[in-house]
Structure 1
Amino acid sequence: MFHRIQDDENFLDSVIFSDESTFHVSGKVNTHNCRIWGSENSRVSLEHVRDSPKVNVFCALSTERVYGPFFFMERTITGSVYLDMLQEFLIPQLDEDDQEGRIHFQQDGAPPHYLGEVHEYLNARFPGRWIGRAAPIAWPPRSPDLTPLEFFLWGFVKDRVFVPSLPANVVELRARITASVAEMTPEMLRSVWLRD
């Protein structure tokens, strides 16, 4: 992918980045892909409610639009659940926006994305134009997921969902997530992609 970007400075304009995130009513944040830099002592511990109600949410992001949020009703996202979401939610929206077949679809190496049926579907839908683990355009299997969703979208949404107060329940949590994604403007998205 790095070489594609070097060879074509407009390549990123055709990429749809995607990711899932978990939001807990308690405000707990999954730090698997989160890097926090600070000047204070990093050995601070925070207490969180164990097994707090949560939602798993999917979004995709282009230079012009946010696709989502999509809330998984299942507690665990399996390959079959992920494939259903692609077929029923995301791909119909992409088809509306991509009449010329230019879009490149990116997904990380999460286990549900690696299901053979998901790969077969993406090979048929985006022949030679999808980015991921064992995909036509390689995405590193253990990458730190430095995508616009990780360094911009999820932080933006979590700041609005959990500040100034925590949601009272899952219904309010979903409503806050939906409202914060709706706040995204074309200008905000363009600034995420500025390359100087």
Structure 2
Amino acid sequence: MVCPKPKFMDHFSSNYKDMLEVFFYPQLKEEILNTVYFQQEGAPPHYLSSNEFFELNLWRQCIGRAVPSNGLPIIRIRLAFFFIWGYIKEICYDPTPTNTELSNNIIHVF
């Protein structure tokens, strides 16, 4: 799950943190908390205040700077996933397929 930072919240760190605590996290917790990783697009100017929230609630499933790491094995797994995903995309998208061809390529890879 990649959640882009809303542009109107660039300078309102307390609003952003409130949105995470009041809106985002409760929905995530009810639905799929243990099955997703949260990666925010961009480096927010309010990363210190929202990072406290991530440490308390999503630290095992958050990818980002100053987020506690679970050690080298997790990093290896992440790198492997990025490699595999890149490899699968190369197979599926080379050459540029039609929608039907893309669907067939994805089925073939998996």
| Matches of 1:21 and 1:125, distance apart in 2 | 21
1:77 deviates by 3.3
Q: Give the Cα–Cα distance (whole angstroms) in 2 for the partners of residues 20 and 121 of structure 1.
A: 15
User: Deviation of residue 102 (structure 1)?
Assistant: 2.8
Quote the residue 2:51 is aligned against: 119
In structure 2, distance between residues paired with 1:94 and 1:132: 18
The alpha carbon displacement at 1:21 in A equals: 4.5
Deviation at 1:132, TM superposition (A): 1.8
Q: Which residue of structure 2 aligns with residue 86 of structure 1?
A: 20
Counting helix residues as a fraction of each chain, which structure ranks higher? 2
Letter in 2 for 1:122: F
Count of equivalent residues: 73
Matched residue of 2:22: which SS?
helix
| Paired residues of 1:129 and 1:136 also in contact (CA < 8 A) | no
Q: In proportion to residue count, which structure has more strand?
A: 1
What is the DSSP-based 3-state SS (H/G/I as helix, E as strand, rest coil) of the residue aligned with 1:132? coil
Given residue 16 of structure 2, which amino acid in structure 1 is its aligned partner?
Answer: Y
Alignment of 1:98-177 (within 5 A): 98=32, 101-107=34-40, 108-112=42-46, 114-115=47-48, 117-136=49-68
| Structure 1 unaligned blocks of 5 or more | 1-15, 23-55, 57-71, 139-190
Q: Deviations over 1:58-109 (max 9, x none)?
A: xxxxxxxxxxxxxx6xxx532211100101111111112126x232111131
- Within 2, Cα distance between the matches of 1:98 and 1:82? 21
TM-score by length of 1: 0.31
Which of 31, 47, 51 pairs up with 1:97?
A: 31
Q: Secondary structure at the match of 1:94?
A: helix
CA distance in structure 1 between the partners assigned to 2:44 and 2:53 by the alignment: 16
Provide the C-alpha distance between the structure 1 equivalents of 2:11 and 2:59, rounded to a whole number of angstroms.
Answer: 25
